[in-house]
Structure 1
Amino acid sequence: NDKSTYFGGRGKVVLKAWMLEQYVPGQKFILVRNPYYWKVDPEGNQLPYIDKVDVREVEDRQSVALGNVSGEFDVDGMWVGAQHLSLFLEEKDKPGRDYDVGYGAVPGMVIYFNYDTKDATSRKIMRNVDFRRAFSMAINREEINEVLYSGLLDPSAGVFSKYSPYHVEETYRAYAEYDPEKAKQLLDKAGMKDSDGDGVRELPSGEDVKLVIDVSEHDLYTPSVEMLVEYLADIGVKMVMNVQHQNLIEERWEEGNYELLVWDLEGIDDPVGALQIWVPVSKGVPFYHQSAYDKGGFSKEYDEFSELLLKAKTIPYDERVAAVKKANRIMAENVFVAYVG
């Protein structure tokens, strides 16, 4: 219905470059050129150039990759990634095959801690900085890189992009080096110890350190989280995977009904232009700390981080860079989110 509204109706005069000819929900929509579109290029040619576009909705990423290889698709709007590299390389010597690997300012996988999760015990765990540091240091990013990313991942901490002017080299891998022994020490410091020797740590209250991590059905993220669960078990933290369709996972995070969540992230190259991802600029954001808008941040460090980013929007460029770099250091030191790389 949204697509029908946006692209206009059949037989109606529209101002957009494209008109909707056919829409089959969950399968495809076909766009045709608006012959009365009002724009021309510098040479006077009528826009748009292309007469017809057949857009297919494909949920299975492997099918997207196979369609790219076979020539079924001319353009892929649903990314394929490192997990499909071997498939492309098998075809590289065939006529018309030309591959290049590009990098963007988007992390390979992001783990969000829900600072407002409904369960009080889980919420206390999420808000403990030593737990978050231990969590990050328990992840063997190099192994995930080799097993699932074909060695293309650049392991890092949860920080702003290294390609942005806000990059801080000394914090780029803060708490991101694989060190399970150090992670165990941090959990001990946080009062989470395996008192009964069953391999699972307990809180001072006696409750097990047991958390649920949500991940959508994804041919890269799901196996990554399977490895993550094993890494956390090695330091005494029991993780339970909740794997569901992407739409259901999205509903849960919109409602704040989760403990940890794996999702994408854009905006690390320009955090000032994407404040809603990081700080409470309006009600309900950021989605992993929805109470911050009304009640303030869960820690004084998060409040300082927020103030720096909000201030950065209204100050001269040189001052902005300095402020956002300071925010970047706070973010790295406190592991507000965790990246694989």
Structure 2
Amino acid sequence: PWQNRTKPPAEQFVFERNPFFHRIDENGRQLPYVDRVVMNVSSSAIISAKTGAGESDLQCMGIDFADYAFLKDAEKRYPVKMHLWKRTQGSRLALLPNLNCADPVWRGLLRDVRVRRALSLAVDRREINLAVFYGLAQESADTVLPESPLYRPEFAKAWVAHDPDKANALLDEVGLKARDDDGLRILPDGRPAQVIVETAGESTLETDALELITDHWRQVGIALFVRTSQRDIFRSRALGGEIMMSIWSGIDNGVPTADMNPSQLAPTMDDQLQWPLWGAHYLSHGTVGEAPDLPPVVELMALLKRWNVSTEAAERAEIWNSMLSIYTDQVFSIGTVNGTHQPVLASSRLRNLPDKALYGYDPTAYFGVYMMDTFWLGES
């Protein structure tokens, strides 16, 4: 709908309407309605402050639920309106154990489903919900939301009950019974059980939640340390097997139908942080990375292959259910909470923006599915 007229690099990009854009409205008028879109590049640390100072006509990136009260207060000073849209992610924050970790001891442990289940059971999601999300989120595994026709309560409840006793029993069963003087479990090679969780450091929600999880895991003899790095370094380290575990959001599309591709539940991309080498292998048709050798993952790949050739809606739904069942039961992603809200601030002049909507990269493309080319500016 709009074409960039600014040569990068720049701190402000101006997009002008495309005179050859193909869409028209019901009256035959060519879209988009808005002639110019101006996008400013800014440090993520000050986006919330600039938005709250009335500098944006439409803002969702760089602001989060923690900014809601401040941004809501901006309505008193500027002609803006706050909206809360429900996020589509399967988990707002998820811990992703890297099953392709280069450390042979941790790789073996993280590939043992009992360890992943124990780490999940040790997390007190109720405390995270209350402390970080004001009790407004839903404690859940990393799975689809109730808005999806594929939702099943048993998927959401898989290994999420806070049960340190069961977590301790599972870790004992794996063979991590011995502890050091600090109460930390001792790994088979004699090291203390210390998990380094890496983050791109782009959200205070991540660090707030990790502070709580550090205490939760300490109760079961696991020490948690946080390492922050820039996103590009973070991803390359994951692909190189240097990351043991990371924190990110859960599955992108938490509101799928059976006709949407279930590739997010299997290793199909090299930026899937729980199995980047397996994803790279699929993406490159076997030229790089490694082929999955964990039986449940092999089964996920077989189910995905079946979905890709299926033409029956019922069969596709059955494949989705099977994949969700395996994904949640095997705890390939340790979900925390979902159903959280995203603040969207808009000028009170902006028309055709829905008041209530779903927000996410997939399947809504943030604003894309709501047809930005039909937005227009009226009177305040």
Which interval holds the TM-score relative to the shorter structure? Answer: 0.7 to 0.9
What is the root-mean-square deviation of aligned Cα atoms in Å?
2.7
Write the distance in 2 (CA, Å) between the matches of 1:115 and 1:176: 20
Write the distance in 2 (CA, Å) between the matches of 1:51 and 1:304: 50
Write the distance in 2 (CA, Å) between the matches of 1:112 and 1:77: 25
TM-score normalized with structure 2 length:
0.76
Write the distance in 1 (CA, Å) between the matches of 2:183 and 2:109: 18
Write the distance in 2 (CA, Å) between the matches of 1:36 and 1:144: 50
Matching residue of 1:131: 115
Q: Does 1:235 align with 2:220?
A: yes
TM-score normalized with structure 1 length:
0.84
Write the distance in 2 (CA, Å) between the matches of 1:259 and 1:323: 30
Matching residue of 2:324: 328
Q: Deviations over 1:54-98 (max 9, x none)?
A: 1022342x5323333322111114153322223234456667564
1:311 to 306, 309, 332: 306
- SS at 2:179 equivalent: coil
Write the distance in 1 (CA, Å) between the matches of 2:291 and 2:8: 45
Q: Does 1:299 align with 2:294?
A: yes
Write the distance in 1 (CA, Å) between the matches of 2:75 and 2:35: 31
Matching residue of 1:153: 137
Write the distance in 2 (CA, Å) between the matches of 1:261 and 1:314: 33
Cα contact 2:54–2:74 (8 A) shared by 1: no
Write the distance in 2 (CA, Å) between the matches of 1:221 and 1:312: 34
Write the distance in 1 (CA, Å) between the matches of 2:58 and 2:141: 33
- SS at 1:78 equivalent: coil
Matching residue of 1:338: 334
Q: Does 1:70 align with 2:37?
A: no
Q: Which stretch shows the higher mean deviation, 302-311 or 17-26?
A: 17-26
Q: Deviations over 1:170-204 (max 9, x none)?
A: 23111111122221111111111243332210123
Matching residue of 1:82: 65
Write the distance in 1 (CA, Å) between the matches of 2:237 and 2:271: 15
Write the distance in 2 (CA, Å) between the matches of 1:79 and 1:166: 31
Change in 2 beyond 3 A, CA 1:266/1:38: closer
User: Which amino acid in 2 is paired with 1:188?
Assistant: D
Change in 2 beyond 3 A, CA 1:66/1:53: same
Q: CA deviation at 1:35?
A: 4.3
Matching residue of 1:21: 5
Change in 2 beyond 3 A, CA 1:319/1:158: same
2:266 to 274, 279, 282: 279
How many residue pairs align between the two structures? 323
Write the distance in 2 (CA, Å) between the matches of 1:19 and 1:146: 44
Matching residue of 2:177: 193
Cα contact 1:267–1:274 (8 A) shared by 2: no
Cα contact 2:100–2:274 (8 A) shared by 1: yes
Cα contact 1:156–1:340 (8 A) shared by 2: yes
Change in 2 beyond 3 A, CA 1:267/1:274: farther
User: Which amino acid in 1 is paired with 2:27?
Assistant: E
Cα contact 1:157–1:338 (8 A) shared by 2: yes
Cα contact 2:122–2:162 (8 A) shared by 1: yes
Write the distance in 2 (CA, Å) between the matches of 1:279 and 1:306: 6
Write the distance in 2 (CA, Å) between the matches of 1:272 and 1:337: 23
Structure-to-structure mapping, 1:182-221, within 5 angstroms: 182-217=166-201, 218-221=203-206
Cα contact 2:235–2:271 (8 A) shared by 1: no
Write the distance in 1 (CA, Å) between the matches of 2:187 and 2:78: 61
Q: Deviations over 1:203-251 (max 9, x none)?
A: 2332322221111222211222222222222211122211122332233
Write the distance in 2 (CA, Å) between the matches of 1:114 and 1:27: 36
Change in 2 beyond 3 A, CA 1:97/1:229: same
Larger RCO: 1 or 2 (CA < 8 Å, sep 6+) = 2
Q: Does 1:226 align with 2:221?
A: no
The gaps in structure 2 that reach 5 residues or longer are: 338-380
Matching residue of 1:167: 151
Q: Deviations over 1:121-147 (max 9, x none)?
A: 121121011111111111111111111
User: Which amino acid in 1 is paired with 2:331?
Assistant: V
- SS at 2:85 equivalent: coil
- Amino-acid identity (%): 23
Write the distance in 1 (CA, Å) between the matches of 2:295 and 2:133: 36
Q: CA deviation at 1:308?
A: 2.1
Q: Does 1:268 align with 2:264?
A: no
Change in 2 beyond 3 A, CA 1:151/1:298: farther
Write the distance in 2 (CA, Å) between the matches of 1:306 and 1:67: 45
Q: CA deviation at 1:263?
A: 1.8
Q: CA deviation at 1:40?
A: 4.2
User: Which amino acid in 2 is paired with 1:141?
Assistant: R
Change in 2 beyond 3 A, CA 1:321/1:34: closer
- SS at 2:118 equivalent: helix
Change in 2 beyond 3 A, CA 1:38/1:171: closer
